[in-house]
Structure 1
Amino acid sequence: MSRIVHVVESFGAGTLSMVSAMANQQAADGHAVTVIHSVREETPANWRALFASAVACIHLPMQRAIHPLNDFRAGRALYRWLRDLQPEVVHLHSSKAGAIGRLVSLMWAEPGGPRWFFSPHGLSFLQRAEGRLKNSIFLGIEKILAGVPVTFLACSPSEAEEIRTHLSPNVRVVNNAIDLALISPARPGGARLRIGTVGRVTLARNPELFAEIAAQCRDLPVDFVWVGGGDASGEAGLRTAGVQVLGWCERAVALRELAQLDIYLQTSRWEGLPVAVIEAMAAGLPVLATNVVGNRDLVQNGVNGYLVNTADEFSQTLRRLVADAEARAQLGDAAREFAQAHYSLRRMMNDLYAAYGIPPQGQETP
């Protein structure tokens, strides 16, 4: 048994999904697991139900924005918790916890301390919508922190390549994954095709592009659906374009809605490795996605979907697929096979244990 601590400030959406999956499986494999976390506006009210009872959870206020005094207080508190817990492994998730945790690791003077790992879940300096100046600041901060001897865990090969290019050669790939048993096959079959996405309405997910695509396809016999909610102006723009915005849904409800789609769209501005796309592929849906880090690891042009960028490219490809049921079925079958072959939860956990230096499935080294 190993003592494993996950530290995460961005406690929502895909990051929460991956942290809970990791922590729950590690606890089931016999490890002592603690999650030190913050609560964000997008953190679901039932977040504790996402974690097994064997996973200990500790609330530590951290904030997304840079705030020297509050960040110092969070770092001091994190150091004290880790000193009490004495973990063998500390796994940091996303930008703020990654920054605070890496600085805390420098305070660990005792030999034989924990092994430290950092999963960015989407690199902050790739968020081009934030502007060049802000991205340059993010990159500068990450370059400084990259000097801390912590192993990066990239959630996709393309994210790993960005880390090697800009930050550090000390990186291993542990692909995001899902519990395939939870995904029901897509069974749309309605009179009108349903085209949609699942996730929060946020800057990263680019609801403006989704709305533009829907507006260009008003003449088609299709319905556009966004399963999720979030930014008010983003929701308003989607509704103006004729998109049905379902608002926040329990995960089980979101997966049921996913199974009623015919085509899945991912209009992201940036990604790490999108869990929602893996789920859509596992359900047997053809995927149209922007050609960005993460998406391009999943979507193979003309095989299980298409990588496109502009609203015109999306709408042109959609028109072809709407008119060709056989093509949709072939792409969807290939997508399901691809997800099953590469993105199972057990495969992710074995890769994660190998990175940690822990035997797989909780087994002790003989």
Structure 2
Amino acid sequence: MPRKSSLLFLTTGLAYGGAETQLVRLATRLKSRDWEVSVVSLIPPKAYVEDLEAVGIPVFSLNIQRKLPDPCPVLRFARIIRKWRPDIVHSHMVHANLLARIVRPLAPFPVLICSARNIDEGGRLREFLYRLTDPLCDLTTQVSQAGLERYVRVGAVPRHKIRYIPNGVDIERFKPNPEGRLKLRRELGVNGFVWLAVGRFDPQKDYPNMLQAFARVVHNNPNAMLLIAGDGPLRKDMEIMAQEFDIKERVKFLGIRRDIPQLMNAADAYVMSSSWEGMPNVLLEASATGLPIVATDVGGNREIVLEGETGFLVPPRNPEALAVAMARLMDLPEGKRLEMGRKAREHVTEHFSLEKVVDLWEALYEELLQRKGIQRSL
């Protein structure tokens, strides 16, 4: 007899990062579609616990505090599996993916899906561990076609056991809102052409690249402004760098913000300087808001930013190329930039809307459950 199926998400952590945000969006949407959902974090959660629990999704932590090998988290997760008895375990990010595979023989469950969230999750050792433990997983997913092809090429996953499912964006939350634009710009004290960047201050985002490029932009466009929302271990270094480049007055470090949709409406364009990526949520969000984009050509960025139509792509680690593309976008007539923004929203609405992506996940879950002879109620 059909029954309500249970789904357990295992994640390396819960913070305000792109992968975690995507997991929370997926979990809450599936809960509203009558799935039983729970979330387990390897390390103590830093965000989203209240949001999940408010909609009836319990959150557990394995409380991993150190990097040294420790069997206790394996045993804790096995106990959770035996108690919760999920039909599907869906793990996110490399450490969670490997842990879920290790635990499966100790506490069996019907379906395991492992989601790789980046084009490179940490080098050859982790790729070897993926290959070694692949028999313990039913399917691996990748957020970008570029990531999928790379994982097959390096032998981390056989082609028949990997599938592309992109990130999704809430196109109702992220959309053009001209009414709030001027108000927030006044509150932030910004004028002229405003660039926005959102992301954690870590090596992947390569903020030195961005600041070097922006210093060149300001040389010819002294009224340009750069807003950076986010926090992280390298933030203080970047603030010092902005001062050394004599652009301190043109760069605002905003810290963690809860009003990203409003910030995107306050900006004129979005910029990303990452050295590597999977499929960045922020590019989907900026596109849905109608912002033209300049981004490095890494990971799945090319799948979001259509070169010359919705923005410009440049090589990574090349501040001169980034500065040239930023200046090129700023020099376009306003009407042309607005047209690029409209095309960007059309593109993500057609290919990356959150509801469509949740449909893909739900169809995949049901496909794998049927393979195991499990039918869920509608």
- TM-score exceeds 0.5: yes
- Structure 2 Cα separation of the partners of residues 262 and 283 of structure 1: 11
Given residue 103 of structure 2, which amino acid in structure 1 is its aligned partner? Answer: V
Given residue 140 of structure 2, which amino acid in structure 1 is its aligned partner? Answer: F
Match of 1:175 in 2: 166
Q: Cα distance, 1:316 vs. partner?
A: 0.9
Q: Cα distance, 1:289 vs. partner?
A: 0.9
Alignment map for 1:70-89 (pairs within 5 Å)? 72-89=71-88
Contact residue 120 and residue 147 of structure 2 kept, 8 A? no
- Structure 2 Cα separation of the partners of residues 351 and 136 of structure 1: 30
| Counterpart secondary structure, 1:218 | helix
Alignment map for 1:1-366 (pairs within 5 Å)? 1-12=4-15, 13-39=17-43, 43-44=46-47, 47-49=49-51, 52-62=54-64, 65=67, 67-69=68-70, 72-108=71-107, 113-125=109-121, 135-166=123-154, 167-168=156-157, 169=159, 170-185=161-176, 187=178, 191-219=191-219, 220=221, 221-231=223-233, 232-237=235-240, 239-240=242-243, 241=245, 242=247, 243-250=251-258, 253-309=259-315, 310-324=318-332, 325-357=334-366
Contact residue 44 and residue 63 of structure 2 kept, 8 A? no
Given residue 128 of structure 2, which amino acid in structure 1 is its aligned partner? Answer: G
Q: Decide whether aligned partners of structure 1 residues 289 and 8 sit closer, same or farther in structure 2, where only a CA change above 3 A counts.
A: same
Given residue 275 of structure 2, which amino acid in structure 1 is its aligned partner? Answer: R
- Structure 2 Cα separation of the partners of residues 238 and 147 of structure 1: 47
Match of 1:132 in 2: none
Could you report, residue by residue, the CA deviation over 1:160-199 in whole angstroms, capped at 9, with x for unpaired residues?
2122222112111211002111113164577401012112
| Counterpart secondary structure, 1:217 | helix
Higher mean displacement: 279-288 or 225-234: 225-234
- Structure 1 Cα separation of the partners of residues 362 and 269 of structure 2: 35
| Counterpart secondary structure, 2:270 | strand
- Structure 1 Cα separation of the partners of residues 101 and 27 of structure 2: 20
Could you report, residue by residue, the CA deviation over 1:307-361 in whole angstroms, capped at 9, with x for unpaired residues?
10221111111112212123312211111110111111111111111221269xx
Could you report, residue by residue, the CA deviation over 1:48-89 in whole angstroms, capped at 9, with x for unpaired residues?
225542211112223574x212xx211111111001111110
Given residue 321 of structure 2, which amino acid in structure 1 is its aligned partner? Answer: E
- Structure 1 Cα separation of the partners of residues 261 and 241 of structure 2: 21
What number of residue pairs does the alignment pair up?
Answer: 346
Higher mean displacement: 267-276 or 234-243: 234-243
- Structure 2 Cα separation of the partners of residues 323 and 80 of structure 1: 60
- Structure 1 Cα separation of the partners of residues 42 and 14 of structure 2: 6
Contact residue 7 and residue 90 of structure 1 kept, 8 A? yes
- Structure 2 Cα separation of the partners of residues 121 and 40 of structure 1: 20
Given residue 141 of structure 2, which amino acid in structure 1 is its aligned partner? Answer: L
Residue ranges of structure 1 left out of the alignment (5+ in a row): 128-134
| Counterpart secondary structure, 1:340 | helix
- Structure 2 Cα separation of the partners of residues 153 and 31 of structure 1: 20
Contact residue 263 and residue 285 of structure 1 kept, 8 A? yes
- Structure 1 Cα separation of the partners of residues 42 and 129 of structure 2: 22
Could you report, residue by residue, the CA deviation over 1:136-176 in whole angstroms, capped at 9, with x for unpaired residues?
33333333233433311111222221222221121112110
- Structure 2 Cα separation of the partners of residues 358 and 64 of structure 1: 37
Given residue 174 of structure 1, which amino acid in structure 2 is its aligned partner? Answer: I
Contact residue 206 and residue 268 of structure 1 kept, 8 A? yes
- TM-score, normalised on structure 2? 0.85
- Structure 2 Cα separation of the partners of residues 234 and 19 of structure 1: 30
- TM-score, normalised on structure 1? 0.87
| Counterpart secondary structure, 2:208 | helix
| Counterpart secondary structure, 1:116 | strand
- Structure 2 Cα separation of the partners of residues 210 and 64 of structure 1: 32
Residue ranges of structure 2 left out of the alignment (5+ in a row): 186-190, 369-374
Q: Cα distance, 1:365 vs. partner?
A: 6.2
Higher mean displacement: 32-41 or 72-81: 32-41
Q: Decide whether aligned partners of structure 1 residues 259 and 353 sit closer, same or farther in structure 2, where only a CA change above 3 A counts.
A: same
Given residue 292 of structure 1, which amino acid in structure 2 is its aligned partner? Answer: V
Contact residue 2 and residue 88 of structure 1 kept, 8 A? yes
Could you report, residue by residue, the CA deviation over 1:213-246 in whole angstroms, capped at 9, with x for unpaired residues?
1111122121011011212344324532432110
Contact residue 44 and residue 61 of structure 2 kept, 8 A? no
